[in-house]
Amino acid sequence: MANRLTNKIAIITGAARGIGAKSAQLFAQEGAAVATWDVNVERGQAVADAIQADGGTAMFCQCDVTDAAQIENAAAEVVKELGTPNILFNNAGIAVVGELEEISEADWDRQYAVNVKSIYLVSRAIIPLMREAGGGSIINMASESAFVGFPMHPAYTSSKAAVVHLTRSMAVRYAADNIRVNSLCPGTINTELYQEFLAQQPDPGAINREIEAMHPLGIGEPKDIAWAAVYLASDESRYMTGAPMLVEGGILSR
């Protein structure tokens, strides 16, 4: 344990699986007290329980990050149980697959509600607390898709591009409060979300090989992104704000 996050209190949304779950584990290993937020009670609680069993400090909050009332309640729980948060990882996200002419209006709105509006809602609740604590670090989950035009993901790619620019706006506004805001832009990562995407394809194996070939370093693992999140959460990145941190296996170098 390097103790890079000692004495810090972190909230991670979408922490029940994938990058969120791995980030919660690594944040705790680095000394942070971690609040895992998710709609999935069983798996979200299991992540917190595993951290506690390993000697770390963690709690779980059931929270739909598109619901302002639930966010306010979860934030109050964190303050009561752990203290004032100084790290927020807005990790929750979904991926709607389908061409522009095929996506329903409801799916389009849901994509933006989870991937973009949730960052606004959660940050709105947590920034005043961070300000009281003297500052902190906010990490917003974006994607390589913010920079690459994947034709089957118009809702997803445009939502992630919105996250990158929202992050820049937040970074400029809250720098005076000692709150840094950066976006994290992963390449294709072997998560359950990715496997669910493949399962919707007529030939999952062929699509997987095609996507893997697009990335010079191949498809990544959740820990590859979780370690980047540790860096952004820590004081090691104290001079970074507004930046889209690319951890994308080289796809943008082609």
Nearest alpha-carbon partner for 77 in 44, 53, 50, 29: 44
Task: Tell me how far apart the terminal alpha carbons of the chain are, to the nearest angstrom.
Answer: 36
Catalytically active residues are 156
Contact 28, 56 (CB under 8 A): yes
Nearest alpha-carbon partner for 17 in 92, 87, 71, 90: 92
Q: Which residues pair with residue 138 across a beta bridge? A: 88, 181
C-beta pairs of 70-75 under 8 Å, 24+ apart in sequence: 71/121, 71/122, 71/125, 72/125, 74/35, 74/37, 75/11, 75/125, 75/126, 75/129
Host H or E run for residue 44: helix 41-53
Nearest alpha-carbon partner for 179 in 233, 141, 229, 142: 233
